[in-house]
Structure 1
Amino acid sequence: MIPISFGPQVCGDPVAGAAREWLVTDGRGGYAMGTVNGLRTRRYHGLLVVAGQTPAVRRVGLVGLDPAVVFPSGAQVRLGAHEWADGTVDPRGFELLEEFTLVDGVPRWRWRIGDLVIERELAMTYGRSCVAVTHRLVSGGPVRLDLSAVCTWRDAHGERRADGPAPRMEPTADGAVVEGAFRLAGPGWEPHGQWWLGVRHREEAARGLHPHEDLWYAGRFSGALESPGDTVSVLAWADDLADEPPAAAEVIGAARRRNRAVVAAARPADAVTATLALAADAFVVRTATGPDVVAGYPWFGAWSRDTMIAYEGLFLGTGRADEGRELLRAYAATLSEGMLANTADTGRVEYNTVDGTLWFLHAVSRHVTVTGDTDLGAELLPALRGVVEAHLAGTRYGIRVDPADGLLTQGAPGEALTWMDARVYGVPVTPRVGKPVEVNALWVNGLAGLVELAELAGTDPDGLRGAHSRALESFRRRFPSPSGWLYDVLDSPAPTYPLGGAAHHDDDLLRPNQLLAWSLPYAPLTPDEPTVRRIGAELLTPLGPRSLAPGAEGYTGRHRGGPAERDGAYHQGTVWPWLLGPYVDTARRAKMPVDNLFTGIHSHLPEFGLGSVSETADGSAPHTATGCPFQAWSVAEVLRVRRTG
């Protein structure tokens, strides 16, 4: 894996050290997450964040363990860091950090106070909501190490305030159970119980959200570090509270060994691919219903569109085909009216997607093609034929095949059904009503894949073949635009007419959606180098294509501000690294060199979400990363096209 390490210039800086985030996951959707210098900049940061029945439902438990060194003289040096409501940062323990590094995916901090050096490591138990934090004396001593346990118990998207009830504390032999929900265990426990008022999260302030909360100082662990090699460790866990986990050193050692095995199973060709393979592991989780995919940390759960776009990179590119098979079968069982649910993240099952199901057709086709698992193809074929039949007949949200040309059309008032699905105050920013280019590229691709699956299963593909031929011919005839690229949407309602009005127009805004018309395995078109270069000149950035060309009406170069401002910019120029996958595939088919397209992503791996790829970035230079620091389809698509080169 690529080395990820920072010295005192980054670690000791309250801005630079807080801009780089690490992530450790438990394989169930829970995690530990924070910054290089220890400042909690998000409400989502914590050492024990617990997933519920689904990965979307998480609660923050153990927020932090603030270290303090006590010398024989009684002098105390605090190594933690907090930002407060008035902007004060106190304590400033990061000023004593000499190094932060990721070693086999395990974060390690090293503080130096003269000749005294203390290291901290942290890991989670795979398959269990458990975190282990250990501190080792490297040199110097003797000293006492105190660890203040800072806690809460709340929804990960909210805050808890001191004007409500204090967390319930139940003593145990070596710590406490907090709110009946999670347990703390370690040496020398002394309960305290006190609110720390007005902790500030600067990233929430930047996102236009409430930035303050109050934290509960539950108590303090304490242990002696007398000679190099001595350790003081704490465990925290949230399931089966009576069943104590292994010792902290065993948890950390097991995590390191598992991370190495994950990388080895992916058989990476180089250090970057190895790093991406380990990053991919964070998103594949196992729930009560089987394997699933977390779309992004820290705030997303499972989204079917994201899962299916990421499928090949996460499962087929990392040696997880058996888990992938299980996932595809489970998703097929949930089809309703020929559609996959978009998400249940919102608290209810929603089907408001036109492309998620088409990506599912693509994922099944790729699974069978890559693995040779024709049995799965035959098993799922009836359900996939049902998808086609439902689209031919018409299903939710006006999604139907237009009998006039065999292309898919879609649209319903107040809905944004493509992947460009942002809404501001309930109004879609990019509704794209009509026949979007990537939706119809996926439709053509999906039909062709089903024809092949039907032939492999020894069944009659004639109905599928006819639908494919008609859609393919219409796509090739209708989508090329006089502008020199493809129309983004055909038959869209004219601006002066309401949805369903008689007048229509074809939208030729330069967006990256057209890349799928050249990049998919059964793409309807063959790219040519001049067209790809022209598109790249307008859209391509070091982190991937912009969602809209600069100079176009509505282009927004900064993905910043409150929710309305950010959602308004989401697909109006913001960069999406996942689109680098379709761009690279398109360039390869146009016989263009692609190795230089990965340089910006490689440099990005230690810049934001450490060892991972962000959800988005600013469309304008310097293309600062935004959105989720750890995003499934971003990692998966970069990993996929690096492996297939």
Structure 2
Amino acid sequence: MIEIGFGPQVCGDAAAGAGREWLVTDGLGGYAMGTVAGLRTRRYHGLLVVAGDSPASRRVGLVALDPVLTLPSDARVRLGAHEWASGVVDPAGFELLERFDLVDGLPRWRWRIGETVLERELAMAYGRPAVAVVHRLVAGPPVRLDLAAVCTWRDAHGERRAGGPDPSLEPAADGAVVERAYRLAGPDWHAAGRWWHGVRHRAEADRGLPAEEDLWHAGNFAGTLRRPGDTVGVLAWAGDLDTPPPPAVEVVTAARRRHRAVVAAARPADDVGATLALAADAFVVRTPAGPDVVAGYPWFGAWSRDTMTAYEGLFLTTGRADEGRELLRAYAGTVSEGMLANTADTGRVEYNTVDASLWFLHAVTRHVEATGDADLAAELLPALRAIVDGHLAGTRFGIRVDVDGLLASGAPGTALTWMDARVHGRPVTRRAGKPVEVNALWINGLAGVAGLADRVGGDAGAARAAHGRAVGSFRRRFPAPTGWLYDVVDAPAPAYPRGAAGQDDDSLRPNQLLAWSLPYAPLPADGAAPHAVGAPHAVAALRAVGAALLTPLGLRSLAPDAPEFVGRHRGAPEQRDGAYHQGTVWPWLLGPYADACRRSNVPFDEAFSGIDHHLREFGLGSVSETADGLAPHGATGCPFQAWSVAEVLRARQGG
């Protein structure tokens, strides 16, 4: 894996050190997360964040373990870091950090106080909600170490204030049980029990969200580190409170061993590929219903669009086809009226996308083609046919196949494609009608279903006939006089300010990449298929896309010369949603871009260079959800995003 580490000029700077985040996961949807500086900047940051019945229903438990060293001189040195409502940062232990490293995906800090060097490592016990924190004396004379356990118990999306009941604290062996929800254990525990008022989260303030909370100082652990190599370990865990995890040092060792095995199973092509393979592991989780995918940390749960878009990279590229098979079978069971369930993050199962079902057709096809699993093809073929039949007959939200064989969708107030942001209930990016990537996915899916039916001796007639109609219509309707493809055709009036009769949108967007990138894409790579006079050839269109949309971190969602372009994805929720698909950069689009270029012999070797360096800049070892459309393209959104990692990994490994 690539080396990820920083010295004192990054670690010791509140802005630089707090702008780089680390993540360790438990395989269940829970996590530990924070910053290089140790300063909590998000309400989501904590050492024990526990997933509930679904990955989206997380609760924050242990927030911090603040170290205090007592030196032989009796001087006390506080190594924690908190920002307060006043804007004051106190203590500022990051100023004493000598270095931070991500070692086998696990964070490691080193503080230096003269001749004394203290190291901290952290890991989670895979398969249970448990975290281990180990402090080790690296150099110097004997010192006493006190660790203040700073706690809460609340929804990860909210805050807790001191106005309500104090958190309950019940004695337990070597520690205490907090709120009857999680347990703390370590050496020489002494209960405290008092509120720390007005802790501030600067990243939430920047996002226009509530930025303060109160935290509960539950108590302290303590130990003496007499010689280099001595350790003090603390455990925190939820679930089965009566069964402790292994000792903290063993948890760290086991996590490091498992991470190395995950990388080896992926057979990465290089160190960057190895880093991405380990990053991908964070998103594959085990729920009561089986394997699933967390769309992004720290605030997303499972979304079928993201899961199926990321499927190849997360499961097939990384050697996890057996888990993938189980996941595909489970998702097939959610098909209703020809649609795949999208998410339950909102508290109920929702069927509200036009593309998730089509990505599912793609994922199943790719799985069978990669593994030769004819049994799975035969088992899932009825669900795949139900999707095809549902779209041919028409289903929710106006999703239906038109007389020309193309797939149309749209209903008032809905945003059904992946460009789904809404402000005040209205879609920001108007894409009702026949979106280009939706129809590329529809054509790709029909060909895939027909191929699977042929493989298992099923009836491929309906899918093949629908495919033929759709391909012909796609090649006639989507080429635009501009030299690229329309983003949407046949939009309902009133529709777009530009385009033929106001019904076709010729905005330069990256969605058209799927017309060339998919395995059964509707347009050939060389653009030689018969279509309208003046229609674009692949090379010309890809060069136009690359010139206007390609950035170091991915592709813009809209060309900068468009009147609707928004170059900064910042500010309060309304501002961010307004920019989400109006110029904001999306790293996941590098996958389709690389595929389309590869098939058209358009050079793209340097397209991943910026991402390779990005692995050290924001969500460490991972790829962010989004970035600003304008230079310097600062990363935004979730620091750790599944489809960003998956598509970059897949495309770098050769597609």
**TM-score of the aligned structures, taking structure 1 as reference length:** 0.98
Structure 2 regions of 5+ residues with no counterpart? Answer: 526-537
Q: Deviations over 1:494-517 (max 9, x none)?
A: 33799xxxx861111111000000
Contact kept? 1:421, 1:431, Cα under 8 Å: no
SS of alignment partner, residue 504 of structure 2: strand
> What amino acid is aligned across from residue 266 of structure 1 in structure 2?
A
Residue 39 of structure 2 corresponds to residue 39 of structure 1: yes
Q: 2:510 aligns with which of 505, 509, 512?
A: 512
Residue 435 of structure 2 corresponds to residue 441 of structure 1: no
Contact kept? 2:116, 2:141, Cα under 8 Å: yes
Contact kept? 1:493, 1:504, Cα under 8 Å: no
- Taking the aligned partners of 1:484 and 1:26, their CA distance within structure 2 comes to 48
Q: 1:525 aligns with which of 513, 523, 526?
A: 523
- Taking the aligned partners of 1:55 and 1:555, their CA distance within structure 2 comes to 34
SS of alignment partner, residue 387 of structure 2: helix
Contact kept? 2:377, 2:456, Cα under 8 Å: yes
Q: Deviations over 1:309-359 (max 9, x none)?
A: 000000000010000000000000111111111111111111110000000
Q: 2:596 aligns with which of 563, 566, 586?
A: 586
SS of alignment partner, residue 621 of structure 2: coil
1:601 is matched with 611
Matches within 5 A, 1:317-396: 317-396=317-396
1:573 is matched with 583
SS of alignment partner, residue 650 of structure 2: helix
1:429 is matched with 428
- Taking the aligned partners of 1:526 and 1:624, their CA distance within structure 2 comes to 35
- Taking the aligned partners of 1:493 and 1:558, their CA distance within structure 2 comes to 30
Runs (4+) off by over 3 Å: none
- Taking the aligned partners of 1:66 and 1:29, their CA distance within structure 2 comes to 25
1:458 is matched with 457
SS of alignment partner, residue 359 of structure 2: helix
- Taking the aligned partners of 2:509 and 2:493, their CA distance within structure 1 comes to 19
Contact kept? 2:182, 2:237, Cα under 8 Å: yes
1:491 is matched with 490
2:141 is matched with 141
Residue 534 of structure 2 corresponds to residue 536 of structure 1: no
2:405 is matched with 406
Residue 397 of structure 2 corresponds to residue 397 of structure 1: yes
Contact kept? 2:108, 2:120, Cα under 8 Å: yes
Contact kept? 1:491, 1:504, Cα under 8 Å: no
Shift of 1:594: 2.0
Contact kept? 2:12, 2:37, Cα under 8 Å: yes
Contact kept? 1:147, 1:221, Cα under 8 Å: yes
Larger displacement relative to structure 2 (457-466 or 82-91)? 457-466
Q: 1:612 aligns with which of 622, 626, 633?
A: 622
C-alpha spacing 1:96/1:217, structure 2 compared with 1 (3 Å): same
Q: 2:558 aligns with which of 548, 557, 560?
A: 548
SS of alignment partner, residue 485 of structure 1: coil
- Taking the aligned partners of 1:99 and 1:284, their CA distance within structure 2 comes to 30
**TM-score of the aligned structures, taking structure 2 as reference length:** 0.97
Contact kept? 2:72, 2:141, Cα under 8 Å: no
Shift of 1:529: 1.9
> What amino acid is aligned across from residue 505 of structure 2 in structure 1?
D
Quote the sequence identity (%).
Answer: 76
1:416 is matched with 415
SS of alignment partner, residue 128 of structure 1: coil
Shift of 1:89: 0.5
Q: Deviations over 1:371-398 (max 9, x none)?
A: 1111111111111111111111100000
Contact kept? 2:197, 2:215, Cα under 8 Å: yes
> What amino acid is aligned across from residue 542 of structure 2 in structure 1?
V
- Taking the aligned partners of 1:367 and 1:431, their CA distance within structure 2 comes to 33
2:571 is matched with 561
C-alpha spacing 1:237/1:497, structure 2 compared with 1 (3 Å): closer
Residue 91 of structure 2 corresponds to residue 81 of structure 1: no
1:7 is matched with 7
- Taking the aligned partners of 1:643 and 1:556, their CA distance within structure 2 comes to 32
1:267 is matched with 267
> What amino acid is aligned across from residue 211 of structure 1 in structure 2?
A
- Taking the aligned partners of 2:596 and 2:305, their CA distance within structure 1 comes to 21
> What amino acid is aligned across from residue 516 of structure 1 in structure 2?
L
RMSD: 1.1
Shift of 1:297: 0.1
Contact kept? 1:417, 1:431, Cα under 8 Å: no
- Taking the aligned partners of 2:187 and 2:49, their CA distance within structure 1 comes to 22
C-alpha spacing 1:397/1:131, structure 2 compared with 1 (3 Å): same
> What amino acid is aligned across from residue 75 of structure 1 in structure 2?
A
2:529 is matched with none
Shift of 1:73: 3.2
- Taking the aligned partners of 1:119 and 1:77, their CA distance within structure 2 comes to 14
Q: 1:621 aligns with which of 624, 628, 631?
A: 631
Contact kept? 1:415, 1:431, Cα under 8 Å: no
2:471 is matched with 472
- Taking the aligned partners of 2:59 and 2:321, their CA distance within structure 1 comes to 31
> What amino acid is aligned across from residue 441 of structure 1 in structure 2?
A
- Taking the aligned partners of 1:514 and 1:364, their CA distance within structure 2 comes to 22
Matches within 5 A, 1:156-171: 156-171=156-171
